[in-house]
Amino acid sequence: MPYVIILGYSFSPAWLALPRAERQRLKEAHIGPLVAKYADRVRMRFFDAEAFQTRFTDFALVETEDLQAYYFLVEELRDSPLVGQGYLTVKDIFLGIEDGHQAYEGSLQEAGA
């Protein structure tokens, strides 16, 4: 069953104080390998949000059928220097099941209800 997760996060003022080249280097060193490691089970797209709302500065749209792989990716992210050094804080997580109502109705038909 396909799951979609919106992972809202914010970068700290300390992150913004870093030179852009250093920010890029840190993202490539810590986020890039995680995305690549789970790319066969978890698809991620990244969006900027700070110009449109204040709840979080950025968000990732995550698609997966493997919640364990998603969970492990998030655990590794939490262990990364980006989170550990306070540069990135997860603010909100929204989870939905794509066409979940249709899957439920199909299960009712299969059960003869």
Residue 91 CB partners (closer than 8 Å, separation 6+): 8, 9, 10, 55, 56
pLDDT tens column, 46-88: 999 999 988 999 999 999 999 999 999 999 999 999 999 999 9
Residue 39 CB partners (closer than 8 Å, separation 6+): none
pTM of the model: 0.86
Question: Residue 101: phi, psi to the nearest 5?
Answer: -65, -35
User: Which is more confident, 19 or 104?
Assistant: 19
- From 3.30.70.1030, 3.40.50.2000, 1.10.10.10, 3.50.50.60, which CATH number describes the 3-111 domain? 3.30.70.1030
* Strand ranges in 16-112 using DSSP code E only, listed in sequence order: 42-48, 58-64, 88-97
SS3 91: strand
